């Protein structure tokens, strides 16, 4: 299927690894020009270097950073058609999961919302005028299955992502008539650095369950989260859905939430 993305300009946040890296790679493969934003680059992102990729170092918890990233896209590639708000998860220096509502402090809540909601709000605020100047565009906000399945674990993260879902619906209502579509993709547990890095979710759960990192990812987590497929999601699987949603082939899809979660979300 031709996704008709050749020559379109995209900003992808959190692009150096995990889902963001997979989205960046997929959009480049489909012919898009990509501004990849992240605090630092990575060998995997560097390997994608070429005339259609620009990396912008940015700490997206800085209120000025999202606007500067969007401005860089218009400066280098002449406009903006696509925004993928992928940056999120544990704020810098934080390890998840947290097991109880009583664990995060006020500062923890603020940091979680800055990274997982407010950075997207600011990026969207900067992107909409640039998209309107091109006659429209597509925004995908990367949310989480936890936004629709509340639980005591990671309660601050889930609340921020629930806000993301609400924001997406509101934006889709306001801007669809002006050519901007806004959707969410809600992954379940994805085999990314959040899980795999030392001190990450797999190590934390291994300590709780008395197992090891690989056993958590291969067996414990899929069973604990009742994943129908029996395995964690791969980043490319999320990226493929994002690419379809930002494509003109999805011209009638807006205000929707797509679960890519190995069957985590059971509710209708």
Active-site annotation, residues: 157
Structure tokens at 196: 């795999």
Cis amide linkage into residue 190, ω under 30° from 0: no
CA–CA distance, 182 with 197 (Å, rounded to integer): 32
Say how far apart CA 246 and CA 36 lie, in whole Å. Answer: 16
Is residue 242 within 8 Å of 185, Cβ to Cβ?
A: yes
In the DSSP assignment, the letter for residue 79 is S
b/e per residue 58-82 (b: at least 16 CB within 10 A): bebbeeebbeebbebbbeebeebbb
Between CA 8 and CA 30 the distance in angstroms is: 10
């Amino acid at each position: 299927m031709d996704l008709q993305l050749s020559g379109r300009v995209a900003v992808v946040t959190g692009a150096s690894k995990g889902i963001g890296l997979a989205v960046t790679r997929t959009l480049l493969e489909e012919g898009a020009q990509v501004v990849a934003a992240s605090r630092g680059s990575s060998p995997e992102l560097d390997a994608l270097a070429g005339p259609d990729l620009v990396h912008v170092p940015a700490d997206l918890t800085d209120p000025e950073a999202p606007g500067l990233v969007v401005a860089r896209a218009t400066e280098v590639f002449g406009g903006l058609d696509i925004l993928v708000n992928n940056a999120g998860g544990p704020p810098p220096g934080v390890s998840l999961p947290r097991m109880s509502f009583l664990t995060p402090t006020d500062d923890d809540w603020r940091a979680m919302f800055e990274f997982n909601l407010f950075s997207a709000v600011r990026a969207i605020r900067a992107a909409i005028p640039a998209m309107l100047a091109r006659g429209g565009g597509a925004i995908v906000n990367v949310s989480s299955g936890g936004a629709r399945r509340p639980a005591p674990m990671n309660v601050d993260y889930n609340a921020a992502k629930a806000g993301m879902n609400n924001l997406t619906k509101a934006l889709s209502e306001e801007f669809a008539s002006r050519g901007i579509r806004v959707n969410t993709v809600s992954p379940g547990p994805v085999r990314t650095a959040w899980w795999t890095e030392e001190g990450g979710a797999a190590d934390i759960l291994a300590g709780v369950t008395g197992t090891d990192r690989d056993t958590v990812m291969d067996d414990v987590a899929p069973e604990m989260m009742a994943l129908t497929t029996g395995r964690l999601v791969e980043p490319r699987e999320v990226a493929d859905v994002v690419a379809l949603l930002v494509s003109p082939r999805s011209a009638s899809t807006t205000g929707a939430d797509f679960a890519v979660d190995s069957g985590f979300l059971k509710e209708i």
